[in-house]
């Protein structure tokens, strides 16, 4: 059997601010993120299995990514834990969904975080091949498993 890659697209709205940044992205602002999740595996070869011929049911992939990524980041304000405590307290009062992370919330670091959230949740016979996270229509960061061994 052949190894096949399958990809599903997701979308979510997230705001962030870059701590100690020297440009306009130091201010809270939002993006309409598009995430492409590509998995790799062998399609099931079992005529009696309702998933016969699939690497993964796209519905199962949607559920997984929704639980581990979209439901967490959608309509959240993502802020580095390096922000001063009083500013974090003010953000928590102002916004209902503040996600404090242990990294600078750039597109590059977000896609790495997403990879780490997804990898342990995949079935044993399926691997995360790559992620592509669009921050704008013309700017994205990519994560590839082969680059991160």
Per-residue burial over 48-67, b if 16 or more Cβ lie within 10 Å, else e, is eeeeeeebbeeeebeebbee
| Options 25, 29, 67, 116, the catalytic residue | 25
Residue 109 tokens read as 């670091």
Given 16, 107, 129, 135, the catalytic residue: 135
Return phi, psi of residue 81, to 5°: -70, 0
Q: Which residue has 């977000």 as its token pair?
A: 110
Q: Which of 29, 42, 67, 75 is catalytic?
A: 75
Can 25 be counted among the known catalytic residues? yes
Q: Is 107 a catalytic residue?
A: no
135 assigned to active site: yes
Angle in degrees, CA 106, 107, 111, rounded to 5: 120
Separation of alpha carbons 149 and 146, rounded Å: 6
Tell me the catalytic residues.
25, 75, 135
């Amino acid at each position: 059997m052949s190894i096949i890659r399958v990809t599903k697209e997701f979308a979510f709205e997230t705001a962030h601010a870059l701590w100690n940044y020297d440009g306009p992205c130091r201010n809270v602002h939002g993006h309409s993120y598009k995430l492409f999740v590509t998995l790799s595996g062998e399609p099931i070869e079992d005529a009696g299995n309702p998933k016969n011929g699939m690497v993964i049911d796209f519905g199962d992939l949607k559920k997984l990514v929704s639980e581990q990524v979209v439901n967490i980041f959608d309509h959240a304000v993502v802020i580095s834990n390096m922000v001063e405590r009083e500013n974090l307290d003010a953000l928590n009062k102002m916004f209902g969904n503040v996600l404090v992370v242990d990294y600078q919330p750039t597109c590059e670091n977000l896609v790495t975080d997403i990879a780490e959230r997804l990898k342990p949740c995949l079935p044993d016979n399926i691997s995360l091949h790559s992620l592509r996270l669009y921050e704008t229509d013309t700017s994205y960061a990519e994560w590839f498993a082969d680059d991160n061994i």
